[in-house]
């Protein structure tokens, strides 16, 4: 429950941040529109001028308005502000879509679904955990067949693995007394009747003593209060439930690669490309 609370807090932050700057940008756009409307009105007056004297006066007013510093500032910044707002709304849209995918169908029924979309949703939902400490690189294979699965459960499994990778990078940074961003790479492909997913990080790695216990419930190398020791255990159970396997390769202070293999069942559907917000 605590882990879900932390995740929910991160999702709220991911939605709240773009909402705030979109709101601020709309206030700017409102002022810019007022300025532009003023220019348009003066332009209309120029067109409607009845004689040379009136035209000259109105052209002078229009020229002064065009030379106003506020107009120049609004003109230069308006397009960028609109682009930023559209980007913010797209981030919110992607986050809400991922949340709906994660929460949809409370009965957790098995359906044919795209593994790339599951990975994308997990990356979006965990964004607040990794965005300040790691670069996320997705190498999602094309033409990957759909998988008979419970998307919500697999999303939870990969959420746990991604968050674990982020924490491993944070632990290495603290140990080395620097805050250089690490790397998380997620690779998907289909080979020999199975879908393979690799989640690699350059974090602190797994010690020899911890290797044989890594999937045990309540086992954790974190200090008290930082981890429940259930994340990888839950991931292991979910993947096993789907007839798959999970293994890892790790070197202390160099990083870890988790390798997941899921069996493919026949489906008429085919692969889909997904993008991270």
Per-residue H/E/C for 45-82: HHHCCCCHHHHHHHHHHHHHHHCCHHHHHHHHHHHHHH
Q: What is the pLDDT of residue 172?
A: 84
Q: What is the pLDDT of residue 90?
A: 79
Q: What is the pLDDT of residue 270?
A: 45
| pLDDT mean values, one per 10 residues, the chain (277 residues) | 56 74 85 84 84 84 81 81 82 72 62 92 88 92 91 89 91 66 94 92 85 68 50 87 92 92 71 46
Q: What is the pLDDT of residue 198?
A: 97
Q: What is the pLDDT of residue 136?
A: 95
Sign (positive or negative) of CA dihedral 68, 69, 72, 73: negative
Q: What is the pLDDT of residue 253?
A: 85
Query: Residue 194's closest CA among 151, 234, 243, 131?
Result: 243
Q: For residues 40 and 264, what is the distance between their CA atoms, to the nearest angstrom?
A: 61
Q: What is the pLDDT of residue 55?
A: 85
Q: What is the pLDDT of residue 98?
A: 65
Q: For residues 37 and 202, what is the distance between their CA atoms, to the nearest angstrom?
A: 54
Q: What is the pLDDT of residue 5?
A: 56
Q: What is the pLDDT of residue 165?
A: 93
Tell me the two tokens of residue 186.
Answer: 């997620």
Q: For residues 30 and 268, what is the distance between their CA atoms, to the nearest angstrom?
A: 50
């Amino acid at each position: 429950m605590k882990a879900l609370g932390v995740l929910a807090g991160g999702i709220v932050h991911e939605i709240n941040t773009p909402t705030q700057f979109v709101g601020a940008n709309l206030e700017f756009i409102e002022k810019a529109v007022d300025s532009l409307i003023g220019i348009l009105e003066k332009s209309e007056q120029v067109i409607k001028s009845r004689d040379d004297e009136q035209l000259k006066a109105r052209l002078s007013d229009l020229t002064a308005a065009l030379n106003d510093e506020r107009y120049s500032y609004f003109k230069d910044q308006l397009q960028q502000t609109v682009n930023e707002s559209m980007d913010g709304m797209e981030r919110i849209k992607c986050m809400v879509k991922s949340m709906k995918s994660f929460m949809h169908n409370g009965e957790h029924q098995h359906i044919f679904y795209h593994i790339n979309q599951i990975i994308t949703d997990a990356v979006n939902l965990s964004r607040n955990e990794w965005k300040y400490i790691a670069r996320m690189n997705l190498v999602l294979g094309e033409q990957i067949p759909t998988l008979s699965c419970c998307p919500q459960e697999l999303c939870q499994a990969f959420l746990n693995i991604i968050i674990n990778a982020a924490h491993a990078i944070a632990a290495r940074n603290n140990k080395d007394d620097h805050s250089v961003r690490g790397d998380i790479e997620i690779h998907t492909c289909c080979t020999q009747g199975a879908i393979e997913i690799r989640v690699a990080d350059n974090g602190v790695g797994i010690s020899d003593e911890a290797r044989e216990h890594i999937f045990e419930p309540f086992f954790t190398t974190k200090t008290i209060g930082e981890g429940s020791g259930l994340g990888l255990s839950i991931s292991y159970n979910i993947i096993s439930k789907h007839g798959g396997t999970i293994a890892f390769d790790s070197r202390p202070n160099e990083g870890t690669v988790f390798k997941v293999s899921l069996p493919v069942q026949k489906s008429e559907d085919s692969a889909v490309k997904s993008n991270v917000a």
